[in-house]
Amino acid sequence: MLRIANLVKSYGKADPVLKGLDLEVPGESMVSIIGASGAGKSTLIRCINRLVEPTSGTIELNGVKLTELKGKALRLARRRIGMVFQSFNLVDRLTVMENVQSGRLGYIPTWRAALRRYPKQDIRRAFELMERVGIAHYANKRADALSGGERQRVGVVRALMQEPEILLADEPTASLDPKTSEQIMALLRSLSRELHLPVLINIHNVAEAKAYTDRIVGMRYGRIIFDDVPAKLDDEAMERIYSGIPAEDRRADAPIPAEASAIPAERQVEAQPS
């Protein structure tokens, strides 16, 4: 269970990018986060494993308060959080196997990492996962010799090798063509079910979000304004999430009442004291 409470992220004196978010992700669900550019989706995801430092608020994963950890404790906690990136973020010159095993770096001693003498069970698990996603025959190939979709699969296997309690994905399909994109989304969904793994995906393709995820969280300008099943994401909700421009949002900014998800932004402006 991932619990986010009152998460705020601001850079200097400018408007906060995240304005006090609350979110709960119970185990074994696939949740997508949608929103226009600049809504704060990527910042939210990166705050969870503290690639971006939250300004205030708490993030708790299965009872561990991630926001309070430092140094070694933070590293140990990060092992339990897997992440898949838009640009795959593989080490191009290393082989697929080495890239996949780099997911275990938080677990194995340095000498094993340096000499590439990985533990037997890690090698077995790697081949198992690579078979599952269909890249086992690439084990000895350099990562940059693979296609985009194949590289993202390597990224997924790397994340899974960590035996994570949650999987984060930051626009995992943005760099892929439509067909490959769907394959990856389908893969994430089936893995999520098989491994009972909660998956939080930052995505801008709303059709894919509707088709492959169980719950959609819509963000707008640093706040969550929609949180429901895909079926409830109708045109009106889409309008709320995606219309408008940041300048208007800045002018209309006001504290949001608890039932904000039911009030469209335009009506919020009228409700504001002048």
Partner 1 sequence: MKSPLPETWSKPPAIANPVLRYGLILAVAVYAVWAIGTLPFDWARISDGVGRAGRIFSGAFPPSFERPGLMLEGFLESLQIAIIATAAGVLLSVPIALMSARNLAPMPVYILGRGIIICARSFHPVIVAIIFVKAVGFGPLAGMLTLMVYSIGFVAKMLAERIEEIDWGQVEAVRAAGASYLSTLIYAVFPQIMPRQIGLSIYQLDSNLRASAVVGIVGAGGIGATLANAFKRYDYDFALAIIMVIVGAILISEAVSGMIRKRIW
Partner 2 sequence: MVSLDTRPEDWVRFTPRQRLTRFAIYAFVLISIAWAMSNVEINWPWLLDAPQQMGDLFGRMVPPDASNLGTILRVLVETVNIATIATGAGVILSLPVAYIAAQNTTPNQATLWLGRFILVTSRSVNTIIWALLFVAIFGPGVLAGILAITFRSLGFLGKLMGEAIEEIDRRPVEALEATGASKGKVILYAIVPQVLPAFWAVSILRWDINIRESTVLGLVGAGGIGLVLQGAIDTFNWQEAATILLAILALVVIGEFISAWLRRQII
**What phi, psi does 59 have (nearest 5°)?**
-130, 125
Tell me which stretch binds partner 1 (CB under 8 A): 119-127, 149-157, 169-177, 219-227: 119-127
Report how many residues bind partner 1 under the rule CB under 8 A: 15
Instruction: Check if the beta carbon of residue 126 is closer than 8 Å to that of residue 97.
Output: yes
* Minimum CB–partner distance for residue 131 and partner 2 (Å): 22
Interface residue with partner 2, options 103, 149, 198, 222 (CB under 8 A): 103
**Residue placing its CB nearer to partner 1 in the complex, 132 or 210:** 132
Q: Does 93 bind partner 1 (CB under 8 A)?
A: no
Q: What distance in Å separates the CA atoms of residue 274 and residue 271, rounded to the nearest whole number?
A: 9
Sign of CA dihedral 186, 152, 228, 192: positive
Residue closer to partner 2, measured from CB, 91 or 245: 91
How far is 146 from 180, CA to CA, in rounded Å? 13
Measured CA to CA, the distance from residue 24 to residue 22 in angstroms comes to 7
Among the listed residues 15, 68, 131, 228, the single contact to partner 1 using CB under 8 A: 131
State which of positions 213-252 bind partner 2 (CB under 8 A): none
> Which range of residues in 152-160, 191-199, 207-215, 223-231 is near partner 2 by CB under 8 A?
152-160
95 binds partner 1 (CB under 8 A): yes
In the list 71, 109, 111, 140, the residue contacting partner 1 (rule: CB under 8 A) is 140
Distance in angstroms (rounded) separating the CA atoms of residues 114 and 95: 14
Q: Is 105 in the site for partner 2 (CB under 8 A)?
A: yes
Choices 24-32, 102-110, 209-217, 233-241 (CB under 8 A): range interacting with partner 2: 102-110
Q: Are 168 and 86 in contact (CB under 8 A)?
A: no
Q: Which does 222 bind (CB under 5 to 8 A by kind): partner 2, partner 1, none?
A: none
Q: Residues 16, 39: contact at Cβ < 8 Å?
A: no
Cβ proximity to partner 2: between 162 and 202 the closer is 162
Binding-site member from 62, 127, 237, 244 for partner 1 (CB under 8 A): 127
By the rule CB under 8 A, 75 interacts with partner 2? yes
The answer for residues whose C-beta is within 8 angstroms of residue 83's C-beta and 6 or more apart is 49, 159, 167, 168, 169, 170
Contacts of 112 (CB under 8 A, 6+ apart): 118, 119
Q: Which does residue 140 bind out of partner 2, partner 1, none, counting CB within 5 to 8 angstroms by kind?
A: partner 1
102 binds partner 2 (CB under 8 A): yes
Q: Is 139 in the site for partner 1 (CB under 8 A)?
A: yes
94 binds partner 2, rule: CB under 8 A: yes
Determine, following the binding rule CB under 8 A, whether residue 81 of this chain makes contact with partner 2.
yes
Residues that bind partner 2 (CB under 8 A): 49, 51, 75-83, 85, 87, 89-94, 98, 102-103, 105-106, 110, 113-114, 155, 158-159, 162
